[in-house]
Amino acid sequence: MDVFANILHDWDSARRQRLIQHSFEALPPGGRVLIYELLLSDGQDGPLTAALMSMNMVFLTPGKQLTAGELDELLRGCGFTDVAVTPAYAGYSLISARKPAAR
């Protein structure tokens, strides 16, 4: 299992893609990746904490806060399946995905 906790928002889209692709390649078939992030709404206009954090990223890193849809697209684009988003605490969510079993 790989875990990314408050990591992906720090990087631009190319670096995020490389990190998730490396995770996919390193995991055994059936392995899972977990991502813990403060998610933006689909409209990228809230909740307030996530929107403010995303604005902060503009000045501090090449990254931004992500939406559940953006993470779903990233994970599926790298080969993961069974993407699930579970709200956790204070705007954070736990996103899980599975590397398909070998055939």
Task: Give the residue numbers annotated as catalytic, written as ranges.
Answer: 9
Order of all β-strands in the sheet with 81-87 = 2-5, 32-38, 92-98, 81-87
Locate 52 and state its tokens: 């403010």
Alpha carbons 40 and 103: distance in angstroms, whole number: 36
Q: Are 67 and 42 contacting, i.e. CB atoms less than 8 angstroms apart?
A: yes
